[in-house]
């Protein structure tokens, strides 16, 4: 149990450190928030009143403490620009990001698993070489460049998908998913490449094991050996990588969200930074960091469950 506890404490410390650093960094920004909030025609007395009201006269540490106390009660403050509660704004943007994330991972896995299996099974064959080259090429394409190429062919030329825009789920499942396919594929194709390479490597090692030879000797069909016997023990590294992708994507899909005009967390974060909406930035950073750290925590725990040696190492270091 010490392993899990240690990891958990580590997680909390990282979240605290990241939010505190964000607070200090935002404090460095040159703009005067009180001026912005009070508006163009405000007198210096108005500004002073706003400053008092927002507690801007206190030290950074005091303000961080107050924010933290609020966050612990589930209150992330209100937006300086729209006066909307930050928690509410995040709750309305998060589903879009999560949908993109989920679809992208599904596409990536749907491509990576068959491709990884085939190229491990026929290692060094022309098909393996071709898949390997394709993967290497895809790793070198920025996802935003890929998105432009996909929009050009599939939206503008073939007109299969809308080029930009988000349709809420309330207006039907198909219009919603249709708008998400290109953004998800742009993310998935880049991730697919790294997942496939890792799966191929692990699978080649697994296929040399004796139990595979034994399964062959029993006369089991090849597809059954590959899918039932070899895939499971080969997929641990790939799942770890998948966890890392998910953790990075919670706040890292900004460019894809911008290209396709999806109202996700990444866009909320960028627009909040531009409009100097500090409580909103702080809330977004909290969600992104918690997401990142939580996914990594789960991956660590999975590792610990699968391989007891990791647990011991973890408690020492």
Partner 1 sequence: MGRKRGAAFWLPLAWITFVVLCAISASWLPVPSPDQIDWDNLAVKPGVAGHLLGTDTLGRDIASRLLFGARVSLIVGFLAPCIGLVLGCFAGVIAGFYRGLAEKLIVGAIDTFLAFPRLVFLLVFIFVLGASLSNLTIALGILTAPSFARVARANTIRFAGREFVLAAKAIGAGDVAIILREILPNVLAPMLVYMLLVMGFVIVAEGGLGFLGLSVPSPTPSWGGMIAEGREALDETPHVSMIPTAVMFLTVLSVNLIGDRLRGQVDGRESQL
The answer to whether residue 234 forms part of the interface with partner 1 (CB under 8 A) is: no
Residue among 269, 283, 299, 311 that touches partner 1 (CB under 8 A):
269
Backbone torsions φ then ψ of 85, nearest 5 degrees: -60, 135
The residue within the footprint of partner 1, chosen from 28, 158, 217, 316 (CB under 8 A), is: 28
Q: Is 258 near partner 1 (CB under 8 A)?
A: yes
# of chain residues touching partner 1 (CB under 8 A)? 44
How far, in Å, are 61, 62, 65 from residue 19 at the CA level? 12, 14, 11
Q: What binding mask, one character per residue, do residues 134-163 give for partner 1 by CB under 8 A, x or -?
A: --xx-xxxx-xx--xx-xx---x-------
Query: Between 25 and 213, whose beta carbon lies closer to partner 1?
Result: 25
Tokens of 90: 């995040």
130 binds partner 1 (CB under 8 A): no
Closest among 260, 283, 263, 261 to 273, alpha carbons compared: 283
Nearer to partner 1, 21 or 106 (CB): 21
- Closest distance of CB 68 from partner 1, Å: 16
Name the one range near partner 1 by CB under 8 A: 52-60, 66-74, 112-120, 292-300. Answer: 292-300
Task: Kindly tell me which residue out of 77, 179, 183, 252 binds partner 1, with binding defined by CB under 8 A.
Answer: 252
* Closer by beta carbon to partner 1, 17 or else 169: 17
Q: Looking at beta carbons only, is 254 or 302 nearer to partner 1? A: 254
Which residues of the chain form contacts with partner 1 (CB under 8 A)? 10, 13-15, 17-18, 21-22, 25-26, 28-30, 136-137, 139-142, 144-145, 148-149, 151-152, 156, 251-252, 254-255, 258-259, 266, 269-270, 273, 281, 284-285, 288-289, 292-293, 296
């Amino acid at each position: 149990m010490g392993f899990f506890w240690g990891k958990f404490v580590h997680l909390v410390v990282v979240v605290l450190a990241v939010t505190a650093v964000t607070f200090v960094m935002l404090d460095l920004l040159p703009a005067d928030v009180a001026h912005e909030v009070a508006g163009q025609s405000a007198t210096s007395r108005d500004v002073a009143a706003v400053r008092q009201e927002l507690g801007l006269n206190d030290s950074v540490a005091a303000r961080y403490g107050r924010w933290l106390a609020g966050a612990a009660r589930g209150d992330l403050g209100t937006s300086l620009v729209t006066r909307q509660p930050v928690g509410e704004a995040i709750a309305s943007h998060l589903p879009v990001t999560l949908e993109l994330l989920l679809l992208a991972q599904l596409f990536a896995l749907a491509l990576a698993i068959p491709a990884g299996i085939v190229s491990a099974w026929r290692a060094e064959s022309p098909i393996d070489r071709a898949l390997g080259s394709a993967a290497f090429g895809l790793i070198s394409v920025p996802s935003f460049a890929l998105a432009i190429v996909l929009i050009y062919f599939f939206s503008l030329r073939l007109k299969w998908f809308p080029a930009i825009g988000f349709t809420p789920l309330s207006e039907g499942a198909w219009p919603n998913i249709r708008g998400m396919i290109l953004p998800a594929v742009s993310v998935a194709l880049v991730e697919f490449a790294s997942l496939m390479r890792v799966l191929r490597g692990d699978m080649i090692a697994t296929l040399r094991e004796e139990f595979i030879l034994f399964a062959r000797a029993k006369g089991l069909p090849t597809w059954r050996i590959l899918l039932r016997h070899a895939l499971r023990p080969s997929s641990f590294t790939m799942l770890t990588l998948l966890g890392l992708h998910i953790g990075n994507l919670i706040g890292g899909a900004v460019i894809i969200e911008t290209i396709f005009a999806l109202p996700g967390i990444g866009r909320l974060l960028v627009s909040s930074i531009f409009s100097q909406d500090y409580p909103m930035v702080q809330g977004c950073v909290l969600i992104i960091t918690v997401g990142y750290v939580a996914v990594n925590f789960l991956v660590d725990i999975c590792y610990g469950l699968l391989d007891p040696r990791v647990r011991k190492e973890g408690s020492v270091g």
